[in-house]
Structure 1
Amino acid sequence: MSKYNDDLFNHMSLGIEFGSTRIKCVAIDDDFESIAVGVYEWENKFINGFWTYSINDVWIGIQKSYKHLVEQLEEIFGKKVTTFKSIGISAMMHGYLAFDKNDDLLVPFRTWRNTTTNQAAEELTKLFEFNIPERWSIAHYHQALLNNEEHVKNIEFITTLSGYVHWYLTGEKVLGIGDASGMFPINEKSKDYNEKFVKKYNELIKNSEIDISSLLPKIKLAGEVAGKLTPDGAKLLDPDSNLIAGIPFCAPEGDAGTGMVATNSVEIGTCNISAGTSAFSMLVLEDQLKNLHPEIDMVTTPTGKPVAMVHTNNCTSEINEWVNLFGELLDLFDYKYSKEELYNILFNQSLIADENTGNLINYGYISGENITNIDIGAPMLLRKSNANFNIANLMKSLIYSSFATLKIGMDILTQEEKKNIKHIVAHGGIFNSGEVAQDILAGVLNTNVSTMKTSNEGGAWGIAVLSKFIHEENFTLEEYLKEEVFTDVDIVSSDVNSDAKANFNNYLEDYKKYLSVEREADNLLKSGDKNV
């Protein structure tokens, strides 16, 4: 970095991502290398019937992760961090943050994980003849309207988590088109909210005298400057007051969009899968799907290309619970270990599992799941009477389960819509324990699966790259990623193993067969049965 001399930090871009378990800051240089990383751990909570994060934690987390990052930079370079070339904000897509005319939050943040909007989602899907998932902001808003919630009459602005943080740092109520496509359907030609659907919705709620488009953030595309750091924003991000206002921002984006960037998957025909607390696949399309599928969301790339998204609310949470349980046992023996070591050992143990996972079937439904019609969720491990219950089979069943619902959705794309997916780039926490999960996923989806070094940094790196893109005028985003960013990247690939494919398909048959047990538990929970 000495080549930059005193202009050092003007050659670095900052990406900040609000993930489901971590708030992460990444500083990258002009060669797109990560120079420093700051992390703050946080968790969602189920309060008064909704999955939520504390808004205080948003600001505590961003300040602590940023401080962690700048301490590293200052130790490396021996000088205070006062500026960056550009900044970008990424966060979990979807959800509901509603504000009044005084910019006060009206109800606690309702995240993508909530499955409380079924009535609204069904009504809007029928109205638009376009799938509106329960997670989308418009579904949350409309359900609140249907429920006659007191706060609705005071709403002046609705946004997502990335849009909220960006707004407070820049003063701009804008959103990247990818994240906006999880609020309200997008017209891919006009690159704006679908005008026909806006009109239909306004007619539906005409008694409320609200124009829905006036409540939504303005849309920005990748490459456009979406505001600059204000003096108040600088103090919010850096309470030590070293950071100077005026740094340009790219449009805030959702984790799906930044995941596409981090895996070089924005061209038509490319596909990536993110697997962490939730899991989703993103297949970039040439045009819209032929049919409406409630299991598939139609969203966009950061430049507005149509994307078929298969989203599952549950992926690794149940794996994490079991790993924590094994860790607690080791703690009782006062055994010293690292979490990374424990994950690696347990994942590798799955390699010696029985072909039928010992007749163990796992449902990792910490929360509800739209694709399999689970409203609340009840984590469940089923053992047949002849089960071979050991750690290897348990871990294999847990990993299989984390991908099972995603596979059900992906089959709609490949079998019903006849989409040919030749290659997938995967990223997310489940792929951090060697190549075990990656190899399994290749068998699950019957497709070559790759991981990249860059994708390990996830959305924080992806949004940092998008923030750099605002300084480019001679490239499309596709060209920029191919010719500038991904010219020399480490790639690890897993090919399809026919035995692994057959073993998972057998597991999935049982998984589908016994879903009725999971649904019965779900129904009992919904009815308030205290014996569940």
Structure 2
Amino acid sequence: MKTLTREIIENGKAVLGVEFGSTRIKAVLIDPSNKPVAKGFFQWENRFENGFWTYPVQDIWTGLKKAYSSLCDDVKNKYGVEIKKLAAIGFSAMMHGYLAFDSKGNLLVPFRTWRNTTTQKAAEILTSKFSFRIPQRWSIAHLYQAILNDEEHVKDISFITTLAGYIHWKLTGEKVLGIGDASGMFPVDSQTYSYDENLIDIFNNLISGKKYPWKIQDILPKIKLAGEFSGELTEEGAKLIDPNGNLEAKIPLCPPEGDAGTGLTATNCVAPYTGSISSGTSIFAMVVLDKSSPDYNKEFDMVATPTGNPVAMVHCNNCTSGINAWVKLFSEVSHTLGGETDMNKIFEALYKKALDGSSDCGGLLSYNFLSGEPVLNLDSGIPMFMPLPGSDFNLGNFMRSQLYTSMAALKISMDRMLKKDKTKIKQLVGHGGLFKTKNVAQKFMADALGIPVSVIETADEGGAFGMALLASYMLNKEKYKSLEEFLLEEVFDKSEISTIHPSEMDTDGFQKYLDTYIKYLPVEKEAIELWKKERSINA
């Protein structure tokens, strides 16, 4: 097996998928049978600067080089070879946000990520004008808010895109975007697979008084569907990935996608009425609809699969950051006492300890809001832990409360979707960091939602794996009728899938926790207001 994989890599037949997540850039290499054979990582963090969550441009390219170098080290250690040629590459990143450039390709303002909650007025106006729900994190909300703010840079815009679109552009010269990611910039029409022309007209009329030298359709990236060729790696692009010069140019790239589309792909959830839950810094649930579905536009965030099918999404800004902070604290305690220092082992031990906790967390209450949470009308966030009087304060209950709070906002929002389409959801699959420890978060999520939740054996490979599969699909598209058929026959035909059904007792326990969570939510809101007041006084 090792010899075969080494030959595959030497002959340039492996496929690379890279995803820029909120806290980690991950690279996954797959073989022609679509199995992961190597991976690399790089940790990075967003920064809160001048009122915006952002990543400096230099961090993007440093992170890409480091993640690719980590992958190359893994390949060298496992197979004794260097990567020189690849069959295809695909890039993905956190969706939405705002990257605006002038006609010379200069970035006009620092990257504004999905995490910002500074666009409420713009989102509300656009939602009303469009009769279509526009979330705060969408690119069009960021752009319109900049217009409402009379920001100087807007008149100079020549091109706006997402993080994945930006990376792809710099590596290939192509200003394109996969339809899933594009649907988080501006609403798309699931019948024509293009930006909604009626809404384009409404937006252009809305800003006509500003006399800008551009129309919205002229500054958005061109939409591509899964499987379409989307440019080749240039000589300059190859050096941006591998400054050592080993990686050759002219490698074909598939359409760049957002983390929603790669999450659906990585969990085999691209067919109507399948769905996935993606967990990391943020958490979001997606259910693929058919084109005859009831109108969801006003109730849910509407995005698209990489092939353009409509997707109803529930997105929450906060998930694992709070858990990560507490686990880091416990690791420091362990290190101080001369105990375990392996973070993976500490995570696993603490997650499993949560199974010992009471189903309602014994009166311990947590709020994991590092940033604002639009689904709960919070424009900022302050993490809080509240052991209520008479609570049973032990480690199991504490860890269970941290896991419960990572799901609470999603549960509140998902209830509407499940009540509307519960009988039609055929499959709900979890993936991402929250589900890495087997049978813990998966069980709690099933209890929280009251429906079975599955996890596929490759769940911890995440969106980078999904992106690699989309690149592989581009190479094999002519053999299959659809992406769905490709995934079923080539990727997940023999995959191990574990499914956990909800426990009535634990479902009741989660609901009891959630009732308390909602009851004390005003404490969180009051803390936010006090923090904002203090900040304004000290400004």
TM-score by length of 1: 0.96
Instruction: Tell me, in whole angstroms, the C-alpha distance in 2 between the residues paired with 1:7 and 1:458.
Output: 22
Instruction: Tell me, in whole angstroms, the C-alpha distance in 2 between the residues paired with 1:33 and 1:524.
Output: 51
Distance 1:75 1:422, change over 3 A: closer
Correspondence 1:66-465 to 2 at 5 A:
66-207=68-209, 208-209=211-212, 210-287=214-291, 288-293=293-298, 296-416=300-420, 420-465=424-469
CA deviation after TM superposition for structure 1 residue 68, in Å: 1.8
CA deviation after TM superposition for structure 1 residue 529, in Å: 5.5
- Among 462, 469, 474, the alignment partner of 2:479 is 474
Does the alignment pair 1:43 with 2:32?
no
Instruction: Tell me, in whole angstroms, the C-alpha distance in 2 between the residues paired with 1:480 and 1:41.
Output: 32
Residue pair 2:448, 2:507 contacting (<8 A) in 1 also: yes
Question: Where does residue 488 of structure 1 map in the other structure?
Answer: 494
Distance 1:126 1:6, change over 3 A: closer
CA deviation after TM superposition for structure 1 residue 522, in Å: 2.1
Distance 1:78 1:361, change over 3 A: closer
Residue pair 2:436, 2:459 contacting (<8 A) in 1 also: no
Q: CA RMSD in A?
A: 1.8
Instruction: Tell me, in whole angstroms, the C-alpha distance in 1 between the residues paired with 2:12 and 2:346.
Output: 40
CA deviation after TM superposition for structure 1 residue 239, in Å: 0.6
String of CA shifts for 1:227-273, please: whole Å, max 9, x gaps: 00011101111111111111000000001100111000000010110
Name whichever of 325-334 and 447-456 sits farther off: 325-334
Q: Which amino acid aligns with 1:489?
A: S
Instruction: Tell me, in whole angstroms, the C-alpha distance in 2 between the residues paired with 1:377 and 1:289.
Output: 34
Residue pair 1:272, 1:426 contacting (<8 A) in 2 also: yes
Instruction: Tell me, in whole angstroms, the C-alpha distance in 2 between the residues paired with 1:226 and 1:43.
Output: 29
Distance 1:260 1:362, change over 3 A: same
Residue pair 1:423, 1:447 contacting (<8 A) in 2 also: no
Residue pair 1:425, 1:449 contacting (<8 A) in 2 also: yes
String of CA shifts for 1:447-490, please: whole Å, max 9, x gaps: 11111122211111111110011122131101111111111111
Does the alignment pair 1:510 with 2:516?
yes
Q: Secondary structure at the match of 2:115?
A: coil
Q: Which amino acid aligns with 1:61?
A: G
Instruction: Tell me, in whole angstroms, the C-alpha distance in 1 between the residues paired with 2:38 and 2:415.
Output: 40
Instruction: Tell me, in whole angstroms, the C-alpha distance in 1 between the residues paired with 2:330 and 2:78.
Output: 38
Q: Which amino acid aligns with 1:87?
A: I
String of CA shifts for 1:102-150, please: whole Å, max 9, x gaps: 1011111111111000000000000100000000000001101111112
Correspondence 1:4-83 to 2 at 5 A:
5=7, 8-83=10-85
Q: Secondary structure at the match of 2:375?
A: coil
CA deviation after TM superposition for structure 1 residue 10, in Å: 2.5
String of CA shifts for 1:42-91, please: whole Å, max 9, x gaps: 11111111111121111111111111212332344444321100000010
Residue pair 1:340, 1:433 contacting (<8 A) in 2 also: no
Instruction: Tell me, in whole angstroms, the C-alpha distance in 2 between the residues paired with 1:514 and 1:43.
Output: 30
Q: Secondary structure at the match of 2:41?
A: strand
Question: Where does residue 524 of structure 1 map in the other structure?
Answer: 530
Q: Secondary structure at the match of 2:186?
A: coil
Instruction: Tell me, in whole angstroms, the C-alpha distance in 2 between the residues paired with 1:72 and 1:318.
Output: 30
Q: Work out the number of aligned pairs and report it.
A: 531
Q: Secondary structure at the match of 2:479?
A: coil
Distance 1:355 1:197, change over 3 A: same
Q: Which amino acid aligns with 1:92?
A: M
Residue pair 2:131, 2:298 contacting (<8 A) in 1 also: no
CA deviation after TM superposition for structure 1 residue 422, in Å: 4.3
Instruction: Tell me, in whole angstroms, the C-alpha distance in 2 between the residues paired with 1:374 and 1:9.
Output: 52
Instruction: Tell me, in whole angstroms, the C-alpha distance in 1 between the residues paired with 2:36 and 2:81.
Output: 18
Instruction: Tell me, in whole angstroms, the C-alpha distance in 1 between the residues paired with 2:158 and 2:406.
Output: 39
Instruction: Tell me, in whole angstroms, the C-alpha distance in 2 between the residues paired with 1:318 and 1:3.
Output: 43
Distance 1:480 1:346, change over 3 A: same
Unaligned 5+ segments in structure 1 are none
Residue pair 2:10, 2:81 contacting (<8 A) in 1 also: no
CA deviation after TM superposition for structure 1 residue 165, in Å: 0.5
Residue pair 2:288, 2:310 contacting (<8 A) in 1 also: yes
Instruction: Tell me, in whole angstroms, the C-alpha distance in 1 between the residues paired with 2:333 and 2:365.
Output: 23
Q: Secondary structure at the match of 2:475?
A: coil
Q: Which amino acid aligns with 1:54?
A: P
Identity over aligned residues, as a percent?
A: 49
Instruction: Tell me, in whole angstroms, the C-alpha distance in 1 between the residues paired with 2:252 and 2:471.
Output: 8
CA deviation after TM superposition for structure 1 residue 434, in Å: 2.4
Residue pair 2:281, 2:318 contacting (<8 A) in 1 also: yes
Instruction: Tell me, in whole angstroms, the C-alpha distance in 2 between the residues paired with 1:66 and 1:399.
Output: 32
Q: Secondary structure at the match of 2:39?
A: strand
String of CA shifts for 1:484-506, please: whole Å, max 9, x gaps: 11111111211111111110011
Residue pair 1:431, 1:437 contacting (<8 A) in 2 also: yes
Q: Which amino acid aligns with 2:182?
A: A
Instruction: Tell me, in whole angstroms, the C-alpha distance in 2 between the residues paired with 1:240 and 1:346.
Output: 41
